[in-house]
Amino acid sequence: MSVALTGLAPELKSSTDQADFLPSRYESAQVMKIQEESFPQQETPAAVVVFQRDDGAALTDADKATVAKVTEGLQAKRYETFESVTTSPEAVSKDGKMALASIISTEKDPAAEAGFESLRRLRTDGRAALQDTGLKMGVTGPVALMLDAQEAAGDTDAMIMMATLVLIIVLLGAIFRSPLIALLPVLMIALMFITANGLIATASELFGLEADASNSAILIVVLFGVGCDYILFLLFRYREYLRAGQEPKQALIDSVSRVGETIASAAGAVIVAFLGLVFSSMGNMRAMGPSLAIAVAVTLVAALTLVPAVFSLLGTKAFWPSKAWKRTPRTRMADRAGDVASRRPGLVAVVATGLLAVLAVGAFGFKPGFDQESTLPKTLESIRTNADLQKSFSAGETEPSLVFVKAKDGGRLDRAALDTFRTSIAAVDDVGGVAQPVLSPKGDVALYSVVLKFRPSSDQAIELVAGDLRDAVHENAPEGTKTLVGGKTAVLADIEDAVEHDYRLVFPVAALAIMLILGLLLRSIVAPLYLMLAVGLGFTATLGSAVYLFQNIRGEEGLLFSLPIVVYLFVVAIGTDYNILMVARLREEVRNGRSTADAVRLAVSRSAPTIGSAAVILAGTFGVLMLADNSMLQQMGFAVAFGILLTAFIMALLLVPTLTALIGPKAWWPGNRSGHGPEAHEDPATGLRQEEPATTGSHV
């Protein structure tokens, strides 16, 4: 089936069009539509070349002549995606130390591979032309920034993939001491990825599902995360039954019947969490949600069919050459954790809650940052050149904001009114300059390029555009016109508003859906309530930890604006698997007639190896991101890795079982309110629990 889906599925395309990210109600999205309709041939600024002397002195007349000659030479090269490379006497800074050349593209999306290749060639040609002239050049601007960011991330992507594979293979090999078990999950997850990609592309084609091939990287991480979790859930229970003396076939059947419901519920919780993204205002989030949900659904089906089938065929040979599967090892740490949780549930719950609460306080200081340029390595050419440019020019020179004036009746605009309007925009504080308006062919739309004194993606620029600039543009609109502000900074301002909207809507919807699934799994109303409270505490503790480290200790101005979404996707959604596994094991022990202490002790000690192994693999995968020379990736890596470890070791192994013990039988209300279930005893010959009719007594 995977081969058929790969061969027959349509191609899944990527999109970098900002219109795909924001709905039409946002002003910056409306600007894009007006720009396409009124200025279809409008040239797009792709990059800026900055010329300066090696010694930092002012440019001489000979230097300026060299700049003009080199620029003409670059123009003569006729790069595939560049319409022109031009300079002028006016492009020299007021202090005389720098000269600029503008690279113009007629491509709608100049930041595509063809545009990147043109820029690479231009950089090489320009440096060759400047040899022995005493001048140097650097290229910055939107295409240069994206090219440098992509190339810097290329090594990181490869490093993450390699680290993921090594971690999974090494840790699984160490846990099970079998090369087959170390390699099989990787091969099966690769098959799941192929199948999921085919289904996503097919669903996109048949049902108009929004999907984006650029989500492949996050898709891989999700599949490795949930895939390893579900395989480990099954293998640990399978090995437990083998050690108890069951035949391999029966052990596998019992493992699937016991853990299958847990895996299905865990997958259901992750699926609805991802589907909650369809309520997002952001087009890329709406595209990501269904795609990830399909991937998890494929993983669920494979975990309940493909994985058992493979291990059924292999039998105990899957553990070759190790014989460790035959005997139960001494798990001192897991047993000790189970003993402490069962004997002192109140103390453990207070300590665990206190630790999470202290970390959660930091979340109140979370400051979203949209200046992704500041997270890139300072050694990149575009970043260094941009810093140089700001010494002599306004920082917004590379990507001006766009202001449109459109006649409501479709008539021609009044030139005098446009000049007055331009003066009012130029008077706004921190606006570095406003170009003369460009009129559309019909004369009903005017376009102004507005240079800000701040970098286009900086927090100051976003605040200026969202506040004073838009206010001035709207308040001073010529009579009978509609005015709008667009461009990169305006898009970021609207994204900020959209993200805040999503936080208020997506999170509550997903939380309610997850609670419903937990209620169906546990046949309880009470348990899902405190489980979700614990999840919420874990979420804020994770975010707070990132604030403490990056804002308070490292002194960064803000965190990645989408970090809460990232934590939601990987810590809340996937991390909930561990809580579900724990509470399902608690319920199982209760139904087998265990007392409160025994249920907690056994659930913790027997679930700890599974949860711990799965969490270390997933956290380690994301932890590799902290090695990247990119603050954004470091923040993401730390938050997810630390959040997964918090969820697994503090919440799932300590807080959830001790809260369940403290609440007692009421935790399962209105299901098994008395806690009575089939009483169990262990067969001394096999070690398996044999169920008998329940006797009266007080249980969890």
Render pLDDT for 370-404 as a digit per residue (tens, 0 to 9): 776 777 778 889 989 988 988 888 878 878 899 99
The rounded Cα 539 to chain-centroid distance in angstroms is: 15
Separation in Å, CA 158 to CA 164, 195, 217, 451 = 10, 22, 11, 38
Separation in Å, CA 475 to CA 415, 436, 479, 482 = 18, 20, 10, 10
Check residue 555 and give left, alpha or beta (phi > 0: left; psi -120 to 50: alpha): left
Please give the angle made by the CA atoms of 554, 559 and 563, to the nearest 5 degrees.
Answer: 130
Kindly tell me if the per-residue pLDDT of 610 is higher than 50.
yes
At residue 359, the pLDDT reads: 95
231 exposure class (CB count in 10 Å sphere: 0-12, 13-18, 19+):
buried
Task: Give the model confidence (pLDDT) of 442-492 as tens digits.
Answer: 889 999 999 998 988 888 899 999 999 999 999 999 999 999 999 889 988
Kindly tell me if the per-residue pLDDT of 6 is higher than 80.
no
Residue corresponding to tokens 């874990």: 538
Separation in Å, CA 248 to CA 29, 40, 177, 178, 303 = 60, 68, 18, 17, 18
Kindly tell me if the per-residue pLDDT of 538 is higher than 60.
yes
At residue 647, the pLDDT reads: 92
Task: Give the model confidence (pLDDT) of 329-362 as tens digits.
Answer: 667 788 888 888 888 989 999 999 999 999 999 9
Beta-sheet pairing, 445-452 with 431-434: antiparallel
At residue 393, the pLDDT reads: 86
How far apart are alpha carbons 274 and 294 in whole angstroms? 9
Cis peptide before 437 (omega within 30 of 0): no
At residue 675, the pLDDT reads: 44
Task: Count the neighbouring beta carbons within 10 Å of the beta carbon of residue 693.
Answer: 7
Kindly tell me if the per-residue pLDDT of 521 is higher than 90.
no
Cα-flanking dihedrals φ and ψ of residue 273, to 5°? -65, -45
How far apart are alpha carbons 537 and 652 in whole angstroms? 12
Task: Give the model confidence (pLDDT) of 543-576 as tens digits.
Answer: 999 999 999 998 888 888 888 988 887 788 777 8
Say if residues 425 and 482 touch (Cβ distance below 8 Å). no
- Provide the CB-side half-sphere exposure for 101 (13 A, CA): 28
At residue 60, the pLDDT reads: 94
Say if residues 274 and 225 touch (Cβ distance below 8 Å). no
Task: Give the model confidence (pLDDT) of 85-109 as tens digits.
Answer: 998 887 899 899 999 999 988 666 6
3-class DSSP string for 76-144: HCCCCCCCEEECCHHHECCCCCEEEEEEEECCCCCCCHHHHHHHHHHHHHHHHHCCCCCEEEEEECHHH
How far apart are alpha carbons 608 and 557 in whole angstroms? 38
Q: Specify the amino acid at residue 522.
A: L
Measured between its terminal Cα atoms, the distance across the chain in Å is: 46
Task: Count the neighbouring beta carbons within 10 Å of the beta carbon of residue 70.
Answer: 24
At residue 208, the pLDDT reads: 59
What DSSP assignment string belongs to 405-419? EEETTS-PPPHHHHH
Please give the angle made by the CA atoms of 670, 675 and 679, to the nearest 5 degrees.
Answer: 140
Mean predicted confidence (pLDDT) in 638-666: 90
Kindly tell me if the per-residue pLDDT of 639 is higher than 80.
yes
At residue 217, the pLDDT reads: 64
Separation in Å, CA 25 to CA 3, 19, 111, 282 = 42, 11, 25, 12
What length is written for the chain?
700
H or E element in which residue 491 lies: helix 488-522
Residue corresponding to tokens 């048949």: 206
Q: What is the residue-averaged pLDDT of the chain? A: 83
Confidence of residue 674 (pLDDT cuts 50, 70, 90): very low
At residue 700, the pLDDT reads: 32
At residue 338, the pLDDT reads: 87
491 exposure class (CB count in 10 Å sphere: 0-12, 13-18, 19+):
buried
Residue corresponding to tokens 């909207």: 501
- CB under 8 Å to 300, separation ≥6 — which residues? 230, 263, 264, 267, 271
At residue 676, the pLDDT reads: 44
Task: Give the model confidence (pLDDT) of 287-334 as tens digits.
Answer: 788 888 898 999 999 999 998 999 888 888 888 888 777 776 667 788
